Structures are given as structure tokens and as C-alpha cells.
Amino acid sequence: MAAAGPSVFLLMVNGQVESAQFPEYDDLYCKYCFVYGQDWAPTAGLEEGISQITSKSQDVRQALVWNFPIDVTFKSTNPYGWPQIVLSVYGPDVFGNDVVRGYGAVHVPFSPGRTSVCENICFRHKRTIPMFVPESTSKLQKFTSWFMGRRPEYTDPKVVAQGEGREVTRVRSQGFVTLLFNVVTKDMRKLGYDTGPPDTQGVLGPSPPPGLPR
Amino acid sequence: MAEVHVIGQILGATGFSESSLFCKWGVHTGAAWKLLSGVREGQTQVDTPQVGDMAYWSHPIDLHFATKGLQGWPRLHLQVWSQDSFGRCQLAGYGFCHVPSSPGTHQLDCPTWRPLGSWREQLARAFVGGGPQLLHGDAIYSGADRYRLHTAAGGTVHLELGLLLRHFDRYGVEC
């Protein structure tokens, strides 16, 4: 390999944490962070953030809008461990303490790469991700957590991006967060990867309303 | 060797009559396939949905395969179980789907079924729960012994899988 080809590829992700739907809760804020494999490293931008507190809109949408920006660039040699964004939403309970209202995670979309003229193709994705909270498994813990006003939480929200050890957790899904992504990759095609045709999800008209069974 | 990355999520399930659901999943491949990194099987969390009737698992999958041949393209086999308030588990459905063969992001809907058993077993299941289960999980993804079974429909499992292929064009394989 004397003709030095690229050995790393770049993944630029930007977008926003657009809005949320939590029918039962109000005055929420959102934290995000990225979880990625060993071969990955962030090169620019912020890999975590914390949003403002938003209240529900006074119309029928009852939308919680954050419009919170995401902008980060990663480099890697191997797609294994593709970055996931982990979201956690918090809000006050009746005593005014901040408690968690939902955790969620989703993989950063693959970039499309179909045109040979242009190495970098930008594309916009809209993802609605379900948010869930862990539940106590025993009746006693359920009672004490209700009595003390302390909900079970994950000590590290990054566990929602891991597949292992989930069989012991019981959760309750109770809301949705909508994310917008723009994704650009560089040199993936040169490294021999085929990411397929552009993903047309989210550009053709509005996405179906979240929370409804498909 | 050509490489395949399967990256995505088991999103959740709809259409099951039970409410607290979880899913055991695994990937079966032919002999030419080798798993370089990632976990081959797992189990999701138990979700009790409060909004709508879809159970959400958001269970991440990240697999890296190397392959010498196309035979035995990976297939995902799923077992959906329901858990009652006492923590007892009952089978809700079996299903399998092939990992898509074209690169890109795919939305998959995997229909499920469960063994029906004799009328006594059906009656017992209606009153006390339980019900027949497969002794060997390979009947989920192989068609060889299916003709012995009598089954009933379960709900649907929804998946989103992204496929990334490497060096397939080097061997002249068109996906």
C-alpha cells in the first residue's frame, strides 16, 4: 500500500434536538451525549450538551420545542461502534426536584453515498425516538420510591446505548423526542464501504405522527 | 474477505395482546460467515408502554461480519415474551427475518407466530397461561421441521437495520 490511500474516514453530524412529546409532563429539558466504539474519536465540535427548559405550547400540538443544536465530527477506521446519540429528558416533579422523564438512543444515520462526482453528500434525516424510564422491579421499592418521591434512574445514561445487560431492566415508555440530522461522510467509499442509496426517509413530506402504532 | 456491518435497532413490537413485552434475539449465519465483533444474541428490556400500544425496546445492534461466501446470509431470529405483574414470563411469538442484502437503511417488519398445541393446551393457556414452546430454537429460522407445527399469529416486531458492505464489488458481487 505504497500509494497512501486514506486510512480513516470522517463522519460529520449536525442537526438539532427539535422537539418532544410527553403527554403527562411539562417544563422539560434535555441532555444529549454520544456513545461510540473504541476505534472512534471526536475531532471537532461538542459531543454533549444540555438544553434550556421548555414548556408545552398552548395549542393542540402540546409540543415541547427545544430547537437545540448538535454539531460534531468523528473520525474512525472501522464502522463497528458507529456513534449513537443518547438523550435523557428531565423535568420537575410535584416537589420541584428534577427527575428523569425519559431515556432514549438512536444510531447516527449512515450517510448516503451514491454519486461518483461528489465524494461528500449531505442529507437530512428526521428521527423520532421513543423515550423510556426504568421501573423498580419489586413492589417494596416501587412503594418507597413513590413515598420518597425519588424515581429510579440510570447512574450513567450511556447504558441505553448498550445491548448487554438489558434483560434485567423493566421500563415504561412515555414520550418521544424528534431529532434532525445532517450527515456527511468523507473517504468511506475510498475505504471500500458501500453505504447504499440515499435514504429518502424524512424528506418526502412530513413524517407520520409519532406514538401511533404503525 | 468481504465485510458486512449490520448496525441498527430492534425498535419494538405492535399487535400483541399482552402489555409488558420483551424480546430475545439472535443472529444465525452460515459456515462461511465469521463474526469479527459485536454480540450474536441478546435480550431487550421489558417495556410497559404508557402512550399508544407499541412496546418500545430501542435495542441497539452492532455486528461486524467477514464472509467467504454468500450462502447462509445472516438471519435474525426473535422470541417475544410477555411478563406479568408477578414476573412470570409467557411466550408471545417467534419470528425471523433475513438481514437485508442491499446496503443502506431498512425498515423491517417481522411477523410472529406461536405454537398452538392441542385443544387442552389452548384451554390451559387461556386460563392459567404458559402454553407450548419450541424445544429447539432452530425451528424459528429453518424451514425443515415446520410442517409438524400448528401455529397461531402473534404481533409484529419492528426493526431498523443499516447495512454497510465492504469489498463486495472487489469480488464482483452485486448487492
Residues of A with Cβ-Cβ distance to B103 under 8 angstroms: 194-197
**Domain extents in chain B:** 2-171
The pTM (predicted TM-score) of the whole model is: 0.84
Q: Give yes or no for B101 touching A (CB within 8 A).
A: no
Find the CB nearest B7 among A82, A132, A167. Answer: A82
For residue B120, give how far its alpha carbon lies from the nearest alpha carbon of chain A (Å).
32
Instruction: Give strand ranges (E) for chain B.
Output: 2-14, 21-28, 33-37, 41-43, 46-47, 55-67, 75-83, 89-98, 104-115, 151-166
Find the CB nearest B56 among A23, A173, A212. Answer: A173
d(CA A90, CA B11): 22
Find the CB nearest B166 among A37, A176, A193. Answer: A193
* Residue-wise pLDDT tens digits, B29-65: 999 999 999 999 999 999 999 988 899 999 999 999 9
Nearest-by-CA chain A residue for B36: A80
| Beta carbons of A37 and B62 less than 8 Å apart | yes
Q: Note the pLDDT of residue B85.
A: 84
Contacts of A26 (CB under 8 A, 6+ apart): A55, A56, A64, A91
Q: Note the pLDDT of residue A95.
A: 86
d(CA B172, CA B118): 51
Nearest-by-CA chain B residue for A170: B46
Q: Note the pLDDT of residue A3.
A: 59
Residue B55 grid coordinates: 412496546
Q: Note the pLDDT of residue B137.
A: 86
Residues of A with Cβ-Cβ distance to B84 under 8 angstroms: none
- DSSP state, residue A54: B
pLDDT, averaged in runs of 10, over chain A (214 residues): 75 91 93 95 93 90 91 94 96 90 92 40 73 90 85 91 89 93 88 74 40 44
Q: Note the pLDDT of residue A126.
A: 84
Q: Note the pLDDT of residue A209.
A: 44
| Beta carbons of B7 and A79 less than 8 Å apart | yes
Mutation to test the B interface, candidates A36, A39, A80, A179, most B Cβ within 10 Å: A80
Query: How does DSSP assign B1-23, residue by residue?
Result: -EEEEEEEEEEEEES-S-SSEEE
Widest CA span of chain B, in angstroms? 59
Q: Note the pLDDT of residue A112.
A: 56
**Strand-strand pairing, A9-21 and A64-76:** antiparallel
Number of H helices, E strands in chain A: 1, 10
d(CA A183, CA A121): 8
* Residue-wise pLDDT tens digits, A97-148: 899 999 999 999 886 533 323 334 445 678 899 999 999 888 888 888 888 8
Residue B158 grid coordinates: 419492528
CATH number of B2-171: 2.60.40.150
Query: How does DSSP assign A82-108, residue by residue?
Result: --EEEEEEEEE-TTS-EEEEEEEEEEP
d(CA A37, CA A28): 30
Q: Note the pLDDT of residue A115.
A: 30
Residues of B with Cβ-Cβ distance to A161 under 8 angstroms: 60
Q: What is this model's ipTM?
A: 0.82
Q: Note the pLDDT of residue B126.
A: 86
CA angle centred on B142, ends B137 and B143, rounded to 5°: 125
Q: Note the pLDDT of residue A198.
A: 60
pLDDT tens, per residue, chain B with 175 residues: 899 999 999 999 999 998 899 999 999 999 999 999 999 999 999 999 998 889 999 999 999 999 998 899 999 999 999 998 888 899 999 999 999 998 988 999 999 999 998 899 899 888 888 889 999 888 999 888 888 888 999 999 999 999 999 999 888 888 7
